[in-house]
């Protein structure tokens, strides 16, 4: 029996795949391991009764293993690796946190209302740290072998650099890297069959999900 997984439906389009990077991280892992699965698209604005019955917190992703529903992308990815060890996507422990602060720094930057509060520089610092690591160890975080840390980074980088918006300083950083190492990583990740199959179907839903909020007076 195929594994069942609950992921976010697109905003305003409940029959389309939504824009949750944590959900895509899980489906990417399943695709890379060639594990068959059945997808349930969950409208987070109108959650089905059955979904709330098995998952009172109402969060996605949610996966069903052996008649047990399991939440949390970190836990899910670990379980997938345990149950389907080949091909291995294990990241060496010393590399497991590489790039892990980029996403929260993005969120902090996008929520910031003060251009001088340091959030932009904090984000740039994290991006530069990842770039430096890739220059010395790439093309992937663990060299030639793709691992779960790359699959975690891919959806987050895609949503920020494919669809923006982002400050001109970030664009400048990417355009002036000596060898465009991180751009090469993103191109490699985004062109994988697993990524094409699991990314949101329509880019306008990604934009709707990540565009800065407008405060109406």
pLDDT band at 177 (very low <50, low <70, confident <90, very high): very low
CA of 155: how far to CAs of 112, 128, 190, in Å? 22, 19, 9
Picking from 98, 95, 89, the residue whose alpha carbon sits closest to that of residue 31 is 89
- Which of 20, 77, 134, 189 is catalytic? The answer is 20
Helix 168-175 crosses helix 119-137 at what angle (to 10 degrees)? 20
Mean pLDDT, residues 157-173 taken together: 60
Domains parsed from the chain with CATH numbers:
3-88 (3.40.30.10), 93-197 (1.20.1050.10)
Whole-angstrom distance, CA of residue 102 vs CA of residue 91: 18
For residues 171 and 125, is the Cβ–Cβ distance under 8 A? no
Question: Of 108-117, 155-164, 180-189, where does mean pLDDT reach its minimum?
Answer: 155-164
20 in active site = yes
- 7-48 per-position pLDDT tens digit: 999 888 888 898 899 999 999 999 999 999 999 999 999 999
pLDDT computed for residue 161 by the predictor: 64
82 membership: H or E segment, kind and range? helix 73-83
- 51-104 per-position pLDDT tens digit: 999 999 999 999 999 889 999 999 999 999 999 999 999 999 999 999 999 888
SS3 4: strand
pLDDT computed for residue 212 by the predictor: 43
Whole-angstrom distance, CA of residue 129 vs CA of residue 110: 20
Label each residue of 10-27 as H, E or C: ECCEEEEECCCHHHHHHH
Q: Which residues contact 97 (CB under 8 A, 6 or more apart)?
A: none
């Amino acid at each position: 029996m195929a594994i069942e997984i609950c992921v976010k439906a697109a905003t305003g389009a409940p029959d389309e795949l939504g824009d949750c990077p944590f959900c895509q991280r899980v489906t990417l892992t399943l695709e890379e391991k060639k594990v068959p699965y059945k997808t349930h698209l969950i409208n987070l604005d109108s959650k089905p009764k059955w979904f709330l019955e098995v998952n009172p917190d109402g969060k996605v992703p949610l996966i069903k293993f052996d008649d047990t529903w399991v939440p949390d992308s970190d836990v899910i990815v670990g379980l997938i690796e345990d149950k389907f060890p080949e091909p291995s996507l294990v990241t060496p422990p010393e590399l497991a946190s590489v790039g892990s602060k980029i996403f929260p720094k993005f969120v902090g930057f996008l929520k910031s209302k003060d251009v001088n509060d340091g959030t932009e520089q904090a984000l740039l610092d994290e991006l530069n740290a990842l770039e430096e690591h890739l220059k010395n160890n790439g093309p992937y975080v663990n060299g030639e072998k793709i691992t779960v840390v790359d699959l975690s980074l891919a959806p987050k980088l895609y949503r920020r650099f494919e669809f923006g918006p982002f400050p001109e300083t970030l664009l400048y950083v990417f355009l002036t890297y000596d060898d465009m190492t991180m751009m090469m990583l993103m191109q490699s990740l985004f062109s994988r069959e697993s990524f094409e199959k699991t990314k949101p179907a329509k880019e306008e839903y990604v934009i709707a999900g990540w565009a800065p909020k407008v405060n109406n007076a």
